[in-house]
Structure 1
Amino acid sequence: MKPEMIKKTIIRVIPAVFLVALSAFLLKGDVWTFWTWYLLAGVLGIVGMAVTGRLFRGFADKGWMFSKVVSITITGFLTWFLVSVRILKFTTVTCVGITAAFGVVCIFLYERQRRQGYDCLPIENLDLVYAEEILFFAVFLLWTYLAGFHPAAHGTEKFMDYGFMEAMMRSKTLPATDLWYSQGKINYYYGGQYFAVFLTKLSGTKVELTYNLMRTFVAAFAFVLPFSLVHQMTLDMQGRVSGWKKNLPSITGFLAGLAVSIAGNMHYVVYAQIIPLIQKLKGEEVSSYWFPDATRYIGFNPDVPDKTIHEFPCYSFVLGDLHAHVVNIMFVLLLLGLLYAWMKKVRNTTPSVEKQGRKKFWMKQLLMPQILAAAMLLGMFHWTNYWDFVIYYVVTGGTVLFMNIICLKGDIRRIAAVTAAQAVEIFAIATVIILPFTLQFTTMVQGVRLAQNHSLPHQLLILWGLPTVLTLVFVISLIVEKLKGLEHKSLYRLMKAVRTPDLFAVIMGLCAIGLVAIPELVYVRDIYENGNARANTMFKLTYQAYIMFGMTMAYVIFRLLIVNRKKILKAIAAIGLVLLLWTCGYFGRSVNSWFGQVLDPSQYKGLNATAFLETDYVEDVGAIKWLKENIEGSPVALEANGDSYSEYERVSAMTGLPTVMGWYVHEWLWRNDVADLNEKSGEIETIYTSTDTARVQELIEKYDISYIFVGSCEREKYGENLNNAGLESLGEIVYQDPDYETYIVKIEK
């Protein structure tokens, strides 16, 4: 090997060696689980390239980063499907076996592609692949290190998220028994937590660590997948260039990663930067800023009855949620990547019934691999986050319509026929593959209603003005630019004149604007009708708008600043770039507020999501650990029920053991049967307080209770009415805390 090659190799290896060493230093004992998940993702990515390389064949990296998610999706979903239809049990052996089977199939696909002369691996762009791997490792490490400063699965809805994981870890069937409603199964979009459990079982790691690792895993994908997609869009737009411009795809892709996963919104710029500066200059008291304010603005400032929610990924990653909308980020980004890969593939094809014959023409239109894959992903969204099914069915439909207008040369009849057929096909596939979930699921939706309240104009401008202005300026400039060169003006000719990356940016930007506008017009009705009726609708729709806006802004800034020659557009793009980078300050503010002294590695607490029990529940921690370590399966363990977001249900949440009834509002949302919940609440109190032994025994049999937990919450709730003597007489005391009054009774049956 020549000295130049040796030097170049050493230079390339240094970042990898440094990051590995840094991870060992920062994560301490947690690093083994971190490395395990990183290597597992890498292996799955390599194996999945037999599939991904075909789907993303137009990408410079052949979809390398997307391949990790492709493999997780295929193996995880297939495992869930076979378990749900009762063909297999949900065990580690099943997870490993199905993944191994997928690997064998991929080996055959590799061999077949090799014989066909097609290489699905990005051999010609290994530098890009290496750079993406370094970026993925670095972002994964960053978020994992930060998570170790606030690892507790405690607060907000973390009891629910963690409890779902523990319940599925115990269960060999899916859906698992609802940990907060022992007489029913989980009636929620539990797919996100399922994938966390699937990877936990597949990697042989512990759920106490992987609860946090899953959210940092998703955060890493939320950076590198936008990087990969926008990198390719930029590359397609600028073509081959030399000099400094050859770095533009990477710069633009990096900006997209920042915009989607690191940045906040303009609320931070206005209320945490500009207004405090003005107050300071005027000698006034400077307003404080709490990072959740950026997600609770409309309805809160000014304070009005119409309370809404407008969260975004960085807030979720900092707060530590592992909710449906968070885990689904990596899957919706995969869908957007597939749509762009499909656009690149079909852009230059002109299907013809006359040349191909009717049967071949329709076969080709209905058997496009990327569209079939998109349909399957959309079906999965019913289970991972149903809102995303509705949102991205429309995004997919819009993409299909736009491309059909171009490929079918503006033939209205044929465009309508093909688009309708593909829409029906996508909906049918999406519906059929998810039947094991939908047949057991009771919807929480109570209809759609016209919005009675509306956001103030300045609030919409602050939250969504920046991406909306950039999108509209780009769309208008694009239309003006293309119309000038058209002799015969029509929608078909205009769209044909627009290049593929420009068109995809327009689709994402306009869809995002639509998602912001919808909650101002209508909302989906649920139990939160009074006071915050629009909250859930705005939350779920604008969350996805933020993701699409992030990638659109990065691309549009590149397009207007570098490619366009008009000074006014360059100036707008430059201002947009400054403001977008300014919003990234939200990350620093929120990290400092939530995680604390992150620059001091000695303050790192570790990833164990249950370690908080030692300090926050000293009276109960021993008993909770005993249940988790000694009880197999999912017998009912009774504990006192309480309100949502409270400390109640700490036993069921930390062990996964079902209790008779848990968080009241959550079960109200999931089951919409207040009378039943009130009855259960009363009967739980009867068990803990009644002196009527016969009635207590009757209720124990009714709910098939195996254990009764008596700890701090039970003593607090029932006070002097707590019938300790009666409870102890119901069976054997299998655990008695030596320092506190906490005990567990095993019911005699």
Structure 2
Amino acid sequence: MEVLLVGRWLLAIAVLSALAVPIAARLFRWTPGRGVGLAPILSVAVLTTTGYWIGRLSFGIEALAVGVVALGVGALWASVDLDAARRGSLSVADDAVPADRRAIRNALLVFLGAFTLVLLIRAADPAITPVGGEKFLDYSLLRSLLRAESLPPLDPWFAGETVNYYYGGHLAAALVTILSGVPPAYAYNLALATVYACLIAAVFELARGIAADRIADRIADRPGEPADSENDSRHDHVGAPSLATGAGVAAAAAVGLASNLATVQSLLARLGPGSGAESEPFHYWDASRVIEGTINEFPFFAFLNGDLHAHMMGAPFLVLGTAIAYAYWRTPESELRRRRLLVFGAIPVLGGTVAVVHTWDLATLFGVVWLAATFAPARPLTLLSAGSVRSFGDDSDAGGDSGADGGSDRPLLREEIERTGGALVVTALAAGLGGVLAAPFLLGASSGQEPALVPPGQRSGLGGLLTVHGAFLAAFLAFLTGRLVGIKPRPAGTNARLDGIKPRLAGIGPLLVGLAAVVGSGLLVGVPAIAVVAPPLVLGWVALRTDQDAGFETALVIGGAGLVGLVEIVHLAEQAGPGRLNTVFKTYFQVWTLWGIAAGVIISELWAHGVAGIGHVRTTSGREKGSGGPDGRETNTRTSAAMVLPDGRTVARVLVALLVVSTLPYAALALDGHFDRHDVGTLDATAFVAADHPEEAPAIAWLDDHATREDVLLEAPGTTRSPEGLARAAEPGMYTWRANPASSLTGVPTVAGWDHEVGYRGVEAYERRVAAVDRAYAGPTVERVRTLDAYEVTYVWVGPTERERYGEDVAFDHLEGVSVAYETDRVTIYRVDQDALPG
């Protein structure tokens, strides 16, 4: 039966993805597979966006139907050759369907491989246990959505109020659950596998697209073929598809399998003197708690741990937004309409959805857009020009080229301000549009969060930073240093815009000396993060600004470095975690995603071409040329890294090998330990209830079957708090089975659930609920009735937790209007007739 359930789920995903393929092909026409690897998350994004807006009126089959129709209409529009349609004929557009079967096959294999990996992990340990994660929260949100008549759904842990948390990823899972007809207990684990597969397939597709473009930029254009042609033939150079695919696989491994250096450090420590019996055994949890006072998750840890949490579900949406930003990067300046649709259309719509999926990703999404607009060949302010794109900002007397790579011969500072500031203006407008679309959610989101400076005592130490980010930094610094080694001024005319920049760079030596001074100053003043942030940020910025064979992957390096530095300066003060725990937790997951994509491209580059790579430059026409020697032959304008390093390729390959052996052992050890400890053999996320809690399982099943959308449950709150001291024991606390199992596993709202609600509602509001629940179980009759009436309770749960917290003799059947609805040896469920309660 479970095989059929998996088949139904995959069929639903396949149908949705197939509908999104023509849209992806138009959006991401530059990738070898024309966006086929991005089609799954694109389809989910369209379904979620439509389901969210229609769901505010009516959620369920209606919202799902409109979402599928929206996908179908989009697929039809993207498939039609509009030029032919204007001439009166109907035909399929050439670029609406991926033509490279190998590229399609590779993307499909990556998706299915990632899906199968997590499916096997969850089949061994499918339980949504509350220990060591947020599974109770995630499953309760999914169940609440499946019970919802409209959005936002009711909060399962704060009856009578709607969810005050980002739930868009759970909304997507609920829509696919409805479409496939899979029971929720199975849908949880299938959704988890799908999120991972969407993430890895999207990363694979984006990385191989970036790599393919780098390869194409090094191949002399074919006679008569425009430099900016989107024709796939630009990627048909011998070996190019394999190199691009290698970059995609490397990125997929960096995001989906790699870990930080904590594991290899532990393994090396065991080999050192004095090791042996005293060494700590490997545990998968340890690598996520490296920097004191923070959480340093990476994707493989998160999916192995098995939460269906917002920061995980937001990751593929962030990759989709990054791919759209790169689509803007790849679009020539002359294609103004397409660039505007990407920046002011696709990005704001996606941003409005990202806010509901995982609000923390919103700033990062627009940060990536800002970087793309800042460094893309097209000048950002042309997006706001009503006149000719070519004439915008061209104030040179000589009428110099102001095309995508050019511009008037103006001072460096003015050029930088126009590019950077113009990108900021454009991004702010796009963010404003996204904010308008996200307003219905953001205006009702949890309050009490405010920015605060990170106290010096809470800053990350250099050792922890290098353990978490060291592998990425090694690859990035090798790559960027290779781009900049031996910088020489270009002859006048090679690139008009850069003529004013190149003579200012006598070489990388002064730059490295300056960086060393900055790093040393940071260490002296107690800000070690500068040593991690400044080198990739500065070297990346210089490499991009001086056109040193660096591209979008370098912009992602800069973006990740900026995020790492940001959380050392400021954090959000909130109830979700002490200090900056939650800020680092959410931000580092984004850093890993962006840097993993960049690492895949860069590792492939290092392996194929060595530390310096191929030192060609491009003229404003897009053709690869050298410095234009007197004989007209192309020459390399940059000193080869071989003049500095004896064998750049050998050094690079040794580095890549070291990165592999230092980041992949975690996955092998964690999987070995996981399958050694667990062998359940089902995808039923709730099967553990009957096995581990047989005294409560039948009652939970009965409540799930009989409760309606209007019902409200009263059970002991998931907290050790007891504001009025009525609780006899400090139970149950969070992250235990005793914390609200009935409401969490059914989605039936309870009056006061987990202590998490403090972060959503505030201490006062939550404790007021807890006190009311305590009075209902242990107070005088008048107070008990008052609570049942005030919160419109229809079912009262009395189980082991309630008896431990309030006493063995706790009961409600003596109250008028309250009767026993279901009873076992350890659990009694009372039904409350609100109309019959005493006045």
TM-score by length of 2: 0.77
Which sits farther off after the overlay, 202-211 or 704-713?
202-211
- Is contact 1:471-1:510 (8 Å) kept? no
Name the counterpart of 2:530: none
The answer on 1:456 being equivalent to 2:467 is: no
The answer on 1:686 being equivalent to 2:775 is: yes
**1:73 to partner: Cα distance:** 0.9
SS in 1 for 2:485: helix
Name the counterpart of 2:106: 131
Distance 1:457 1:277 in 2: 24
Please show how residues 214-233 of structure 1 align to structure 2 within 5 Å: 214-233=191-210
Distance 2:491 2:805 in 1: 75
Name the counterpart of 1:722: 810
- Is contact 2:250-2:603 (8 Å) kept? no
- Is contact 1:44-1:71 (8 Å) kept? yes
The answer on 1:605 being equivalent to 2:681 is: yes
- Is contact 1:730-1:747 (8 Å) kept? yes
Please show how residues 348-497 of structure 1 align to structure 2 within 5 Å: 349=333, 364=337, 367-369=340-342, 372-403=345-376, 404=378, 407=404, 409=406, 412=415, 415=419, 418-452=422-456, 453-480=458-485, 483=488, 485=490, 487=492, 488-490=499-501, 495=544
Distance 1:269 1:494 in 2: 32
**1:696 to partner: Cα distance:** 1.6
Distance 1:397 1:634 in 2: 46
The residue identity in structure 1 corresponding to 2:706 is: N
The residue identity in structure 2 corresponding to 1:139 is: A
Name the counterpart of 2:832: 746
Q: Which of 319, 341, 348 lines up with 1:333 in the alignment?
A: 319
- Is contact 1:707-1:747 (8 Å) kept? no
Percent identity for Structure 1 against Structure 2 = 24
Structure 2 residues not aligned, in runs of 5+: 86-91, 217-234, 380-402, 409-414, 493-498, 503-540, 614-640, 720-733
Name the counterpart of 1:7: none
Name the counterpart of 1:620: 696
**1:295 to partner: Cα distance:** 0.8
What do residues 474-495 of structure 1 show as CA deviations (whole Å, max 9, x unaligned)? 2232233664546535289974
Q: Which of 120, 123, 128 lines up with 1:148 in the alignment?
A: 123
The residue identity in structure 1 corresponding to 2:451 is: G
Q: Which of 270, 275, 292 lines up with 1:276 in the alignment?
A: 270
Name the counterpart of 1:658: 749
**1:142 to partner: Cα distance:** 1.9
The residue identity in structure 2 corresponding to 1:645 is: Y
Distance 1:394 1:622 in 2: 50
- Is contact 2:158-2:753 (8 Å) kept? yes
- Is contact 1:556-1:573 (8 Å) kept? no
**1:623 to partner: Cα distance:** 1.0
Q: Which of 15, 27, 50 lines up with 1:78 in the alignment?
A: 50
Flag the structure with higher helix content. 1
Is the alpha carbon distance of 1:575 and 1:538 closer, same or farther for their aligned partners in structure 2, counting shifts above 3 Å? farther
**1:153 to partner: Cα distance:** 1.1
Distance 2:29 2:802 in 1: 59
Name the counterpart of 1:313: 299
Distance 1:268 1:711 in 2: 43
Please show how residues 659-678 of structure 1 align to structure 2 within 5 Å: 659-664=750-755, 666-672=756-762, 674-678=763-767
- Is contact 2:54-2:63 (8 Å) kept? no
Cα RMSD, aligned residues only = 2.6
Name the counterpart of 1:570: 649
Distance 1:118 1:241 in 2: 21
SS in 2 for 1:367: helix
What do residues 505-564 of structure 1 show as CA deviations (whole Å, max 9, x unaligned)? 1111121122222222222211267xx412111111111111122122221122223222
Is the alpha carbon distance of 1:639 and 1:597 closer, same or farther for their aligned partners in structure 2, counting shifts above 3 Å? closer
Distance 1:417 1:268 in 2: 42
Q: Which of 181, 185, 189 lines up with 2:158 in the alignment?
A: 181
**1:748 to partner: Cα distance:** 4.7
**1:395 to partner: Cα distance:** 1.7
What do residues 232-291 of structure 1 show as CA deviations (whole Å, max 9, x unaligned)? 2222222357666652222221111011011111111111x21112257x6563322211
**1:590 to partner: Cα distance:** 1.8
Distance 2:183 2:487 in 1: 56
4+ residue stretches of structure 1 with deviation over 6 A? 491-494
- Decide which structure has the larger Cα Rg and report it: 2
Is the alpha carbon distance of 1:202 and 1:733 closer, same or farther for their aligned partners in structure 2, counting shifts above 3 Å? same
SS in 1 for 2:676: coil
Is the alpha carbon distance of 1:246 and 1:119 closer, same or farther for their aligned partners in structure 2, counting shifts above 3 Å? closer
**1:129 to partner: Cα distance:** 0.2
The residue identity in structure 1 corresponding to 2:182 is: T
SS in 2 for 1:428: helix
- Is contact 1:181-1:660 (8 Å) kept? yes
Name the counterpart of 1:292: 285
Q: Which of 642, 653, 659 lines up with 1:580 in the alignment?
A: 659
Q: Which of 65, 74, 77 lines up with 1:96 in the alignment?
A: 65
**1:497 to partner: Cα distance:** 6.3
The residue identity in structure 2 corresponding to 1:90 is: F
**1:618 to partner: Cα distance:** 1.5
Query: Size of the alignment, in residue pairs?
Result: 684
Is the alpha carbon distance of 1:283 and 1:168 closer, same or farther for their aligned partners in structure 2, counting shifts above 3 Å? closer
Distance 2:543 2:48 in 1: 42
- Is contact 1:157-1:321 (8 Å) kept? yes
SS in 2 for 1:325: helix
Distance 1:371 1:572 in 2: 44
Name the counterpart of 1:12: none
Please show how residues 50-61 of structure 1 align to structure 2 within 5 Å: 50-61=22-33
Q: Which of 261, 265, 268 lines up with 1:266 in the alignment?
A: 261
Please show how residues 248-259 of structure 1 align to structure 2 within 5 Å: 248-259=243-254
The residue identity in structure 1 corresponding to 2:760 is: W
Distance 1:141 1:528 in 2: 33
Give the number of the structure with larger relative contact order, counting CA–CA contacts within 8 Å between residues 6 or more apart: 1
- Is contact 2:446-2:759 (8 Å) kept? no
Is the alpha carbon distance of 1:247 and 1:223 closer, same or farther for their aligned partners in structure 2, counting shifts above 3 Å? same
Name the counterpart of 1:354: none
SS in 2 for 1:515: helix
The answer on 1:552 being equivalent to 2:583 is: no
Which sits farther off after the overlay, 421-430 or 399-408?
399-408
SS in 2 for 1:596: helix
**1:668 to partner: Cα distance:** 0.6
TM-score by length of 1: 0.86
**1:586 to partner: Cα distance:** 1.0
Distance 2:444 2:740 in 1: 25
The residue identity in structure 2 corresponding to 1:684 is: V
Distance 2:799 2:327 in 1: 56
SS in 1 for 2:575: coil
Distance 1:278 1:131 in 2: 42
